[in-house]
Amino acid sequence: MASAACPAPLARYDQMLDGSLDLGDVIEMHTVLDELESNYERAVKAAQVR
């Protein structure tokens, strides 16, 4: 799921400092991580119901 805006595995702080990434990139990465966590939590709850 890596792209230019969301490099794998994770962005490093020094990439922010050297300008390789900007705040918009970091926000996008956090949005993706939040969505993954939410999907995981829903899957765990669904598995517990069964």
Residue 4 lies in a domain: no
State the chain's maximal CA–CA distance in angstroms. Answer: 49
Residue 1 lies in a domain: no
In this predicted structure, the answer to whether residue 10 has a pLDDT above a threshold of 80 is no
What are the φ/ψ torsions at residue 42 (nearest 5 degrees)? -65, -40
Q: Which domain holds residue 26?
A: 13-49
Provide the domain count of the chain: 1
pTM check: above 0.85: no
Residue 5 lies in a domain: no
Mean pLDDT, residues 11-26 taken together: 85
CA distance 11 to 20: 10
Residue 3 lies in a domain: no
Residue 28 lies in a domain: yes
Structure tokens at 20: 């390789």
